[in-house]
Amino acid sequence: LRIPIKRIAIIGASGTIGSQFVKTLSLKESVEKIFALTRQPVNFLSSKIKNIALDYYDEASIKNASAIAHEDGKLDLVIVATGILELEDSRPEKSFLELSFTKLQTLFLANAAVPAMMMKYFLPKTNSNGMIFATLSARIGSITDNQLGGWYSYRASKSALNMLIKTASIETHRTNKQAIVVGLHPGTVDSPLTKPFQANIPKQKLFSSETSVNHLLTVINNLEPSDTGKCFAWDGKEILP
């Protein structure tokens, strides 16, 4: 990594992309410590990795997890890799006729409110030498890019997330000119989230988590403070709001 990223927290380290970030980063010599924040303990094999219990929906738990992750010093990189696409009993909406309060509420909570609450407890502790706070967003959250419609709750929850990222970047910039707060689109990745939709995806467009994370680490590596507030795809291209 270009910038010295030594201390890292991965929130949602149990997920396909989150756990891959932990694995790939733990192999980098320059990385000293990785805090893997998960609801259920995960058995990671490196001594660099410390598992911290985190209930994504419990503010006291978020505060406690952040305190543990900052006990011995500031973090250089925080990645929020949580998020959901659908509810167990229903697919993303093709029409507004399929909308429900339950779907909208659940998706907004998971994809916008959870990362926002992570901002509340991790951003105030940014390192004045620079720190990156990256949240897994999605291209589909781009209003400019919306050609197909559908997937109402997921799209709108990721648009809301992108607004939260932008707003938090402005506030963080007031006190820390080096801090970088961004959204990341991982591409289409083979994970439980995309399983039901993979039949329509050309093989070369379906990334393994390893490929996606390698791309995203290159993107992270190339970030500049002037990139704060933006959303980037796996290929480094900015995704317009």
Ligand X SMILES: NC(=O)c1ccc[n+]([C@@H]2O[C@H](COP(=O)([O-])OP(=O)(O)OC[C@H]3O[C@@H](n4cnc5c(N)ncnc54)[C@H](OP(=O)(O)O)[C@@H]3O)[C@@H](O)[C@H]2O)c1
Instruction: Tell me how far, at minimum, the Cβ of 79 lies from ligand X, in Å.
Output: 10
Residue among 219, 212, 223, 188 nearest 20 (CA): 212
Instruction: Tell me how far, at minimum, the Cβ of 4 lies from ligand X, in Å.
Output: 26
Region from 59-67, 81-89, 219-227, 229-237 binding ligand X, contact rule CB under 6 A: 81-89
70-100 CB burial, b ≥16 within 10 A, e <16: beeeebbbbbbbbbbbbeeeeebbeeeeeee
The two tokens of residue 2 are: 């270009």
Q: Which is nearer to ligand X, 38 or 176 (CB)?
A: 38
One of 132, 138, 160, 216 touching ligand X (CB under 6 A): 138
One of 37, 193, 220, 231 touching ligand X (CB under 6 A): 193
The neighbour count for residue 182, using CB atoms within 10 Å, is 23
Q: Which is nearer to ligand X, 1 or 87 (CB)?
A: 87
Q: Note whether 22 binds ligand X by CB under 6 A.
A: no
Which amino acid, one-letter code, is at 22?
A: V
Cα maximum dimension of the chain: 52
Per the CB < 8 A criterion, the answer to whether 154 and 107 are in contact is yes
Instruction: Tell me how far, at minimum, the Cβ of 125 lies from ligand X, in Å.
Output: 22
Q: Note whether 84 binds ligand X by CB under 6 A.
A: yes
One of 3, 5, 10, 14 touching ligand X (CB under 6 A): 14
Q: Note whether 188 binds ligand X by CB under 6 A.
A: yes
Q: Which is nearer to ligand X, 38 or 126 (CB)?
A: 38
Q: How many residues bind ligand X (CB under 6 A)?
A: 26
Q: Which is nearer to ligand X, 23 or 185 (CB)?
A: 185
Write down the residue that tokens 């989230």 correspond to.
Answer: 193
Q: Which is nearer to ligand X, 38 or 172 (CB)?
A: 38
Per the CB < 8 A criterion, the answer to whether 127 and 193 are in contact is no
Instruction: Tell me how far, at minimum, the Cβ of 176 lies from ligand X, in Å.
Output: 25
DSSP letters, 147-207, are -S---HHHHHHHHHHHHHHHHHHHHHHHH-TT-EEEEEE--EE-STTTGGGGGGS-GGGEE
As a residue count, the chain comes to 241
Instruction: Tell me how far, at minimum, the Cβ of 171 lies from ligand X, in Å.
Output: 22
Region from 66-74, 97-105, 182-190, 222-230 binding ligand X, contact rule CB under 6 A: 182-190
Q: By CB neighbour count within 10 A (0-12 exposed, 13-18 middle, 19+ buried), where does 227 fall?
A: middle
Q: Which residues bind ligand X (CB under 6 A)?
A: 12, 14-18, 38-40, 56, 81-84, 110, 114, 136, 138, 185-186, 188-189, 191-194
